[in-house]
Structure 1
C-alpha cells in the first residue's frame, strides 16, 4: 500500500485522513445536537470544551488533508464514468472542503463573538479570540455553524449515496479505492 495517491487508488495517508475526519465530524454532530439537553454542570462545560477542541482539530486535519491532496493528487475517475458525474463529484468534493473549513471557523468565531472566556484546547492551550464580543456577529456565526452542519450532512449523504450507487449498480471501484485494503472483496481486484 502506497502512502501517496496513485492514478487508480487513494493512498493510505488520504484514506486515513478521510476516515478520521469523517469519524470526528460524526462525533461532533452527535454531541452538538445533544449538548443543549445537558444540565449546566461542570461536566457540561467539559463536553462543550471538548466539542470546541475536536472542532479545531478537524479544522487542522482538513487543512492537512487539503495540502496532502494538492501534493499527492487524486486518482483519475474510474474508466467509463460520464463527464457529468465527474463534474458533480468534483464540485461535491470542493463543497465538502469549504464546509469542513467554514463550520469549525464559524464555531470559533461564534465562541469569540459571544464574549465567553477563552477556552483551552483540550485543556492545555488557550485559544485566541478571533474578534471582540459582538451580538450580531455571534448570531451570524452561530447560524453559519448550525446551517453549515445541515448542509454538510446533505452533502455527505449525497457523497456516500453516490459511492454506494457506483459500488452496487455500476460495480466499479469508486467506493473500494477509498476503503482500507481488503474490505469488500472487490478491493482485492482493484489492487491486482
Structure 2
C-alpha cells in the first residue's frame, strides 16, 4: 500500500468512511441500549436492526477495503514523527480489521447461539447461519469477543478523532480536510 502525492481521498472513499463511521457509532450506542432493556418484543426488534446494520457495515467495509487496495491513500504530511506515522498506519489497519471483524464476530455469535433465531436483513433478506455447532459455551465466548471488539473500536474512534483534531488545531495541516470536503486547513 503505497502513498500518492494526492492531498485528499477519493469521493467514494470519503462517502464510505462517513457511512461506515456513522453506522458504527450508531451500533455502539444501540448495542449498549439493547443490553439495558428488559426482554420485550421491542428489544427483539432492536437486535434484528442491530444485526441488519451489522451486515450492511460488513458489506460496505469489504467494499471499502477493496476500494482502498485499488486506490492509494494521500501522502502523510511532512514533518510527522516516525512514531506518529507508525501509529497512523496501525490505526488504519486496526480499523479495517475491526470494521470487518466485528460484524463477522456477530454473525458467528448468532450462528452458534441457542436458541436459533433467524436473521433477516431489515425483515427482507434471510441470512444463513454459518455451519457451526450451537452451544452455550460458544455463545458466551463469541458474545464476549463481540463486546470486546466493540470496546476496542470505541477506543480506536476516540484516538482517531483526537489525532484528526490535533492535525487540525495543533499541526494546522490538511489531514482533516481530506475526509471533510470543503474544510479549509487552520491558518
Is the pair's TM-score, using the shorter chain for normalization, greater than 0.5? Answer: yes
- The residue number in structure 1 matching 2:174 is 173
Q: How many residues align?
A: 182
Alpha carbons of structure 1 residues 39 and 139: separation in structure 2 relative to 1, 3 Å: closer
Higher RCO, 1 vs 2 (CA within 8 Å, ≥6 residues apart)? 2
1:144 and 2:145 matched: yes
- The residue number in structure 1 matching 2:6 is 7
Cα deviation, residue 6, structure 1 = 6.4
Aligned counterparts of 1:36 and 1:169: Cα–Cα separation in 2: 39
Ranges in structure 2 where 5+ consecutive residues have no aligned partner? none
- The residue number in structure 1 matching 2:121 is 121
Ranges in structure 1 where 5+ consecutive residues have no aligned partner? none
Q: Deviations over 1:8-51 (max 9, x none)?
A: 11111111100110100111111100112334332221111010
Q: Deviations over 1:68-96 (max 9, x none)?
A: 00011111111222232111100110011
- The residue number in structure 1 matching 2:33 is 34
Aligned counterparts of 1:46 and 1:78: Cα–Cα separation in 2: 46
Q: Deviations over 1:137-172 (max 9, x none)?
A: 211111110011111111111111111111111111
User: Cα RMSD over matched residues?
Assistant: 1.7
After TM superposition, what 4+ stretches of structure 1 lie above 6 angstroms from structure 2?
Answer: none
Q: TM-score, normalised by structure 1?
A: 0.89
